[in-house]
Amino acid sequence: VLQPLTLGETKAMLAFRCQEAEITLPFSEDIMQEIYEVAAGVPREILKVCAVAYELAKGNGFETVPPEVMEIAKREAVLQ
């Protein structure tokens, strides 16, 4: 059984994934903490929440994910 990631591992994974995708990390420290908590450190869930948050932010003209978009993303990611 795989163990959940730590917060530090989560931040490193997000930084790496954004670097590989050649995009600027769109998540603040507070937003990454929130993503980690809502996903309970589970990589698949972390990436699902991030994808929804990123797409919502970009679709609304934001360069980074603001708290109000994160609130929507948490609900949307759970529904998918």
Structure confidence by residue, pLDDT tens digits, 7-61: 999 999 999 999 999 999 999 999 999 999 999 999 999 999 999 999 999 999 9
Ramachandran bin of 61, using left for φ above 0, alpha for ψ from -120 to 50, beta for the remaining angles? left
- Token look-up 């679709």 returns 59
Q: Would you say residue 80 has pLDDT above 70? A: no
* 50: its two tokens: 């991030």
- Within 8 A by CB and 6+ apart from 18, the residues are 24, 25, 26
Q: How far apart (Å, rounded) are the C-alpha atoms in residues 65 and 4?
A: 24
Q: How far apart (Å, rounded) are the C-alpha atoms in residues 42 and 25?
A: 19
pTM of the model as a whole: 0.90
